[in-house]
């Protein structure tokens, strides 16, 4: 299997890709019309890039090492950020940006803290992090699939054939479970469903040389048109967090179209010096944006309503809606939902570096 080192080492490009992906995530959570479009493809982007960035030279014979490397960074961030949000539960309830939940006692904080360590955090503000255990599960499924293919087969053509068959079978397990409405612990049925996107990324890295040269505006336009047509005619409804995929075939088609769309946009942005650095930097903080953008939405709602909230139950009930209160405020949700977590954690990292340099 051939390795495209030039593109693999282009950290700027893949951070741009992740930056575009996280912007789509935020868009999908702040306006129903936007969500109808981006939900068609936004999560497959991250499984695709996970497959692309899989380094077979390093991990092919060490699948557990691959999983551990993914687990360390993702679990640590999941726990830290989820606990941070959890410990503000009562404050959020008091100021009204969450509702319909109980005031936590000490024992409730203890229980939820323990649950957070095993990926069972329940805070709505951190709800977007449901994705993390699914991502980790798909990573280990994919890595062990490659490990056994490489272990028992020597001929590269047999390896490719077995990779396609294994991907089809594992994806088929996900298709069956989703179609039957089966919900496994941690939404593991989705981990099987998205394996084809993982494989697609892996094959693109290892099978196509200089693939960026193959991206063109004609196919990009066709991808956009196809996605718009499917959305406009309501041919597909997707909500992976709730195990909803109304048409499996269209789900995979839309996933591929969305990946192509994002690759082409990444190619264009990578040529724009200043914009490419910004989007790339945003992509490097995609986990932090994923974790905190819903909280930012509600803080925006709070800031809009502070002058109006006093003794006004109707407004209070309106602004407590989750994940956002006002559809027309979507430009604020997108811009601040991305930029506030980005700048906050960038500043934290700058302070950490300066502190280390002075020690």
Contacts of 276 (CB under 8 A, 6+ apart): 12, 16, 269, 270
- The pair of three-digit structure tokens given for residue 324, joined into one six-digit string: 């956002």
Q: What is the mean pLDDT of residues 260-282?
A: 95
Q: What is the DSSP letter of 308?
A: G
Give me the pLDDT at residue 3, please.
41
Domain of 231?
A: 5-358
Phi and psi, residue 274, nearest 5°: -70, -45
Contacts of 81 (CB under 8 A, 6+ apart): 126, 129, 288, 291, 292
What's the CA gap between 187 and 174, in Å, rounded? 10
Residue 258 has pLDDT above 80, yes or no: yes
Residue 289 has pLDDT above 50, yes or no: yes
Q: How far is CA 118 from CA 82, 114, 241, in A?
A: 11, 7, 18
Q: What is the mean pLDDT of residues 329-338?
A: 96
Quick one: pLDDT band at residue 212, thresholds 50, 70, 90? confident
Domain count, the chain: 1
Q: What is the DSSP letter of 154?
A: -
pLDDT per residue over 35-72, tens digit each? 999 999 999 999 999 999 998 888 889 999 999 999 99
Quick one: pLDDT band at residue 235, thresholds 50, 70, 90? very high
Tell me, yes or no, if the pTM score tops 0.85: yes
Average pLDDT across the chain, whole number: 91
Contacts of 315 (CB under 8 A, 6+ apart): 305, 308, 309
């Amino acid at each position: 299997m051939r390795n495209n080192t030039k593109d693999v080492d282009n950290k700027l490009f893949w951070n741009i890709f992740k930056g575009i992906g996280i912007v789509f995530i935020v868009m999908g959570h702040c306006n129903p019309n936007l969500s109808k479009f981006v939900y068609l493809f936004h999560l497959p982007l991250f499984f695709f890039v996970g497959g692309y960035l899989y380094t077979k030279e390093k991990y092919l014979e060490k699948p557990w090492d691959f999983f551990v490397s993914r687990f360390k960074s993702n679990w640590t961030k999941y726990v830290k950020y989820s606990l941070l949000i959890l410990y503000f539960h009562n404050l959020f309830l008091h100021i009204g940006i969450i509702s319909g939940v109980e005031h936590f006692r000490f024992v409730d904080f203890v229980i939820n803290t323990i649950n957070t360590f095993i990926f069972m955090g329940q805070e709505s503000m951190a709800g977007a992090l449901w994705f993390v255990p699914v991502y980790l599960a798909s990573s280990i499924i994919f890595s062990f699939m490659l490990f056994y293919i490489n272990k028992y087969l020597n001929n590269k053509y047999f390896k490719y054939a077995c990779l396609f068959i294994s991907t089809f079978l594992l994806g088929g397990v996900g298709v069956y479970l989703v179609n039957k409405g089966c919900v496994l612990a941690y939404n593991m049925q989705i981990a099987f469903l998205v394996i084809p996107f993982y494989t697609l990324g892996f094959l693109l890295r290892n099978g196509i040389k200089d693939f960026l040269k193959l991206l063109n505006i004609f196919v990009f336009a066709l991808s956009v048109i196809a996605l718009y047509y499917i959305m406009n005619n309501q041919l597909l409804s997707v909500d992976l967090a709730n195990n909803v995929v109304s048409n499996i075939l269209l789900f995979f088609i839309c996933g591929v179209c969305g990946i192509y769309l994002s690759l082409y946009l990444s190619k264009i942005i990578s040529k724009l010096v200043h914009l490419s650095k910004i989007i790339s930097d945003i992509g490097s903080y995609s986990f932090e944006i994923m974790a905190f953008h819903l909280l930012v939405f509600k803080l925006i709602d709070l800031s809009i309503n502070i002058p109006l909230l006093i003794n006004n139950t109707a407004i209070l009930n309106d602004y407590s809606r989750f994940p956002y209160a006002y559809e027309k405020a979507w430009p604020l949700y997108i811009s601040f939902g991305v930029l506030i977590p980005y700048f906050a954690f960038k500043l934290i990292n700058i302070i950490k570096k300066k502190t280390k340099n002075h020690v």
